[in-house]
């Protein structure tokens, strides 16, 4: 077997692993993919497909690994809600003492609904916060506003003044550091819309500290997402550290450095260093890169990981509706589509796809296929020219690493109701979002 075929048998330990079953089929004795103690075929039977399935143990473990890696420095992990905003997942993380990074009034509402007390660990980022959103965040008493422009600074001062509350402020600076990732999710260059140029920051800090209702207390940075070379983070933090020193010499009090999120996961080579059991080593290297430039600064480090916490802890379960051949090209038409998981269509992203049942004779029976959905667009694919063990109509496939930026980016394109979500803990599974019905979609239309 080649390395990718071997990876089929691995799943994503420890949350998703294959187990031997006793059932004999005409294709041999199958290994079946489990989420913790729950067999995926049973989940499909009970809840239907397409279905998002998450491992609670894996989310917890990854959060703990993250938290442990930074034990040498005062820090708060503020999970980036945009990656997966399901209330049950937020509640699970809040229960572990996690804080949250939000980018809208809606995300703030979710955090407060999951745990009212979490407000004091919320950071609020985003280039277009409205007065309404700023007001709601001030009322909730969040930890930090990551302000991204001069105009936003004025708007925040005005809102805070109106409420006679003081807003804790960090400016999100753009360090002009190039990070190797997809252009749509790279953010740290001056040509991007995010943050204020690091060279303009001192002037804005002076302006902020002149405002009665703003309290300058931090510097924040975020250079992009799905970055696996940790040195880029180190470079950005070195620039931030230099700015912190300058700001202090200008007389500002800087208590926080918010390093943003962006640590990537191994979509393609899961047995490589940055995934699975060795996540703790990988995140330790990340911690090293981030904390080295901050030595001696005596700040609390805020972290905004999203994907690295929930990405590998979720998969999208789908059934093969049809097999089809056009002039020798083979397609598997599945019941999930680009509206359920848009990453391949939007970023050309790679997601490993595995059959839920693996048979002893699979090794000899692989084929090259396109895995596509039913939506009427050529861009509606999950994999192209992918070598997979041969599967039949009605078989289940698992699209791996779909825990982050999966459900949150779903749509109703083609009037397709959104999938359900299930959270598994040991042998028990719980529906954490009901499957949408077409009637739900029609209800809000006049």
Binding interface with ligand LLP (CB under 6 A): 80, 82-83, 101, 125, 185, 222, 225-226, 260-263, 304-308, 343, 347, 404-405
Q: What are φ and ψ of residue 379, in 5° steps?
A: -70, -5
Q: Give the residue with the Cβ less far from ligand LLP, 49 or 84.
A: 84
Structure tokens at 38: 């729950």
Q: Give the residue with the Cβ less far from ligand LLP, 36 or 421.
A: 421
Buried b / exposed e across 404-432, counting CB within 10 Å, b at 16+?
A: bbbbeebeeeeebbbbbbbbbbeeebeeb
Q: How far is the CB of 274 from ligand LLP (least distance, A)?
A: 13
- The 8-class DSSP code of residue 289 comes to H
CB distance 387 to 368 below 8 Å: yes
Q: How far is the CB of 78 from ligand LLP (least distance, A)?
A: 8
CA–CA gap between residue 146 and residue 20 (Å, rounded):
50
Q: How far is the CB of 404 from ligand LLP (least distance, A)?
A: 6
CB distance 60 to 50 below 8 Å: no
Q: Is 376 a catalytic residue?
A: yes
Q: How many CB atoms lie within 10 A of CB 253?
A: 11
Q: Give the residue with the Cβ less far from ligand LLP, 198 or 356.
A: 198
CA–CA gap between residue 232 and residue 172 (Å, rounded):
17
Assess whether the previous peptide bond of 14 is cis (omega < 30° from 0).
yes
- The 8-class DSSP code of residue 219 comes to E
Q: How far is the CB of 307 from ligand LLP (least distance, A)?
A: 4
Q: Give the residue with the Cβ less far from ligand LLP, 102 or 369.
A: 102
CA–CA gap between residue 404 and residue 315 (Å, rounded):
9
Q: Give the residue with the Cβ less far from ligand LLP, 34 or 405.
A: 405
CA–CA gap between residue 349 and residue 381 (Å, rounded):
10
Q: How far is the CB of 73 from ligand LLP (least distance, A)?
A: 19
> What positions carry a catalytic annotation?
376
């Amino acid at each position: 077997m080649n390395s990718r075929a071997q990876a089929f048998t691995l799943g994503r330990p420890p949350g998703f692993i294959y187990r031997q079953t006793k059932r004999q089929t005409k294709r041999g004795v199958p290994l079946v993919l489990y989420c913790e103690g729950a067999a995926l075929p049973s989940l499909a039977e009970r809840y239907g497909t397409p279905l998002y399935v998450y491992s609670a143990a894996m989310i917890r473990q990854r959060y703990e690994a993250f938290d442990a890696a930074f034990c040498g420095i005062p820090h708060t992990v503020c999970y980036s809600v945009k990656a997966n905003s399901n209330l049950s997942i937020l509640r699970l993380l809040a229960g572990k003492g996690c804080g949250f990074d939000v980018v809208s009034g809606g995300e703030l509402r979710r955090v407060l609904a999951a745990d009212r007390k979490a407000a004091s660990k919320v950071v609020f980022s985003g280039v277009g916060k409205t007065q309404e959103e700023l007001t709601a965040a001030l009322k909730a008493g969040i930890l930090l506003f990551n302000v991204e422009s001069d105009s936003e600074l004025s708007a925040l001062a005005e809102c805070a003044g109106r409420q006679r509350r003081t807003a804790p402020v960090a400016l999100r600076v753009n360090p002009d550091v190039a990070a190797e990732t997809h252009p749509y999710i790279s953010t740290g260059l001056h040509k991007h819309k995010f943050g204020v140029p690091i060279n303009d920051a001192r002037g804005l800090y002076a302006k902020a500290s002149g405002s009665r209702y703003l309290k300058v207390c931090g510097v924040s940075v975020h250079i992009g997402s799905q970055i696996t070379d940790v040195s880029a983070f180190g470079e950005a933090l070195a620039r931030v550290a230099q700015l912190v020193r300058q700001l202090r010499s200008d007389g500002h009090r800087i208590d926080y450095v918010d390093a943003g999120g962006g640590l990537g996961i191994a979509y393609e080579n899961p047995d490589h260093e940055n995934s699975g059991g060795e996540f703790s080593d990988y995140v330790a290297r990340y911690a090293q890169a981030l904390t080295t430039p901050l030595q001696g600064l005596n700040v609390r480090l805020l972290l905004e990981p999203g994907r690295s916490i929930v990405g590998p802890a979720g998969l999208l379960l789908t059934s093969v509706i049809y097999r089809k051949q056009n002039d020798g090209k083979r397609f598997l038409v599945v019941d999930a589509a680009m509206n359920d998981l848009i990453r391949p269509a939007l970023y050309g992203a790679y997601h490993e796809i595995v059959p839920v049942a693996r048979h002893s004779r699979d090794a000899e029976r692989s084929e090259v296929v396109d895995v596509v959905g039913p939506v009427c667009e050529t861009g509606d694919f999950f994999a192209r020219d992918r070598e997979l063990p041969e599967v039949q109509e009605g078989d289940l496939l698992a699209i791996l690493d779909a825990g982050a930026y999966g459900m949150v980016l779903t749509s109703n394109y083609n009037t397709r109701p959104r999938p359900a979500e299930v959270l598994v803990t040991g042998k028990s599974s719980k529906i954490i979002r009901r499957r949408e019905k077409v009637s739900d979609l029609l209800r809000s239309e006049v």
